[in-house]
Chain A
Amino acid sequence: EVQLVESGEGLVQPGGSLRLSCAASGFTFSSYAMHWVRQAPGKGLEYVSAISSNGGSTYYANSVKGRFTISRDNSKNTVYLQMGSLRAEDMAVYYCARDGWMGFDVWGQGTMVTVSS
């Protein structure tokens, strides 16, 4: 079964750090670009970050640039999102998604990041 499973959910204080992981299974992970998308409570989808299939290219939304780092380990079929200098506005459900070259055809279940003192 093709699947993405996020982990790393947590409560963190403003200014703190957190690392999210997204483990892939059921497909050739190294062939696909991967993305992180977040959704604040009651809000729409916000595109956060992306990484190419070999990790050579990355993208960050302006709202997270300089604070978040995306990476991947193709030997472990996992993509990561290292989040630092967290703010209240970063509080959201974070989804990882597979770029199927026809849109995001596989999504994880989402993992909640809460930023609060």
Chain B
Amino acid sequence: EIVMTQSPATLSVSPGERATLSCRASQSVNSNLAWYQQKPGQAPRLLIYVASTRATGIPARFSGSGSGTEFTLTISSLQSEDFAVYYCQQYNNWPRSFGQGTKLEIK
């Protein structure tokens, strides 16, 4: 089973600033990496797939990069609605394992 590790666990950033979230896989997942956003009381929402492709309706301020074992989600200019928990997930293998999440909070 591939273990996904996210850092940091919590990230405090001011609105308008840039946020950078990291995700590491225990073995290569090629570019088969997705990012999700989850707000309280809601199901997760797919943001990014194939490491860098935005899902339908996702604003351009969200971008992903990386391949192999190291991945990054960047939010270029934080809006109030972006403060949430973010999860990475590999879908290269079964099980489709998730990271433990990064909580993005307002500084």
Could you list which residues of chain A lie within 8 angstroms of chain B, going by C-beta atoms? 35, 37, 44-47, 50, 57, 59, 61, 95, 99-105, 107-110
Query: Are B95 and A109 neighbours in the complex by a CB distance under 8 Å?
Result: no
Distance in Å from the Cβ of B64 to the closest Cβ of chain A?
11
Give A33's nearest chain B residue, CB to CB: B94
Cα distance A108–B43 in the bound complex, in angstroms? 7
Given contacts A104-B44, A104-B96, contact A44 B91 (CB under 8 A): no
In the complex, which of the residues B34, B53, B85 contacts A104, with contact meaning CB atoms closer than 8 Å? B34
- Selected from B49, B53, B87, B96, the residue in CB contact (under 8 A) with A35 is B96
On whether the beta carbons of A107 and B55 are closer than 8 Å, the reply is no
A50 touches B44 (CB 8 A): no
A107 CA to B43 CA in the complex, in Å?
7
Q: A44-B87, A45-B87, A45-B101 are in contact. Are A105 and B55 (CB under 8 A)?
A: yes
B binding-site residues for A, Cβ under 8 Å: 34, 36, 38, 43-46, 49-50, 53, 55, 85, 87, 89, 91, 94-101
Report the bound CA distance from A110 to B39 in whole Å.
Answer: 13
Query: By the criterion CB–CB under 8 Å, are A44 and B101 in contact?
Result: yes
Query: Which residue of A has the minimal Cβ distance to B90?
Result: A103
- Nearest Cβ in chain A — how far from B8, in angstroms? 14
How many whole Å from A51's CB to the nearest CB in chain B? 10
Residues B43 and A103 in contact, CB atoms below 8 Å apart: no
The chain A residue sitting closest to B35, CB to CB, is A103
Q: Give chain B residues whose Cβ lies under 8 Å from the Cβ of A107.
A: 43-45
Contact present for B49 and A47 (CB under 8 Å): no
